Structure 1
Amino acid sequence: MRCTRVALYDIKTGSFDEVISQAKAGMVPLFKGSNGFVSYGVAQVDKNAFVSISTWETRAQADAAAAKAADWVKTNSRDHFALRNNYVGDLAIDTGHREPAPITH
């Protein structure tokens, strides 16, 4: 069963546009190169908050993604934004594309 990871972040400094630039340069390649990757998105939910939403083939892969994301944020962006909450759960309804994302290494 596919799993999703939803993470809520607080923007400490800078703008949401800067967050997007960092995500495109860092998180997108990191997640796309990870086993089980299906999709990734970022949405602004408040002036100073955003969510990161990713979908994975298995719970173990979603949990691994959470750890990778935490390491990446700690190394690259902890002065700009900080994790408030992280959730991983099985998808009960998934209407997205059903074929696994190709694994690139």
Structure 2
Amino acid sequence: MRCTRVALYDITTGTFDEVVSEAKSGMVPLFKDSNGFVSYGVAQIEKDAFVSISTWETREQADAAAAKAADWVKANSRNRFTLRDNYVGDLAIDTGHREPAPTAM
């Protein structure tokens, strides 16, 4: 079953646009090169807060992504943002996942 990781971050210095730029150059390649990667997104939810949402093929891969993300944030955030909460859960509904269409014979 696919799994989603949702992480809530607080911006401590700088802007959301700066965080997005850092995520594009750092977190995106890190996740894309990870086993089980399906998708990743970042959304501003408050003036000084954002959420990171990633989807993985398994819970183990989502948990591994949480550890990779924590290491990346510690090494690269330059104290611009900090993790407030992290959640990992099985997807009950995944409308973004499309099964291949049957082949006509």
Partner in structure 2 of residue 67 of structure 1: 67
1:48-105 deviation digits (Å, cap 9, x = unpaired): 0000000000000000000000000000005100000000000000011347xxxxxx
Q: What is the one-letter code of the residue matched to 2:95?
A: T
Aligned to 1:33: 33
Normalized against structure 1, the TM-score is what? 0.92
Cα pair distance change 1:44/1:25, threshold 3 Å? same
Instruction: Give the unaligned 5+ runs of structure 2.
Output: 100-105
Cα distance between partner residues in 2 of 1:25 and 1:78: 15
Aligned residues: 99
Q: Give the alignment's TM-score, normalised by structure 2.
A: 0.92
Distance in 2 between the 1:73 and 1:12 partners?
A: 13
Percent of aligned pairs sharing the same letter? 85
Amino acid at match of 1:39: S
Unaligned 5+ segments in structure 1 are 100-105
Corresponding residue for residue 21 of structure 2: 21
Which whole-Å CA distance do the structure 1 matches of 2:30 and 2:97 have between them?
A: 21
Counterparts of residues 75-94 of structure 1 (less than 5 Å): 75-94=75-94
List structure 1 runs of 4+ shifted beyond 3 angstroms: none
What is the aligned-residue RMSD (CA, Å)?
Answer: 0.9
Q: Distance in 1 between matches of 2:84 and 2:35?
A: 25
- Which structure has the greater CA radius of gyration? 2
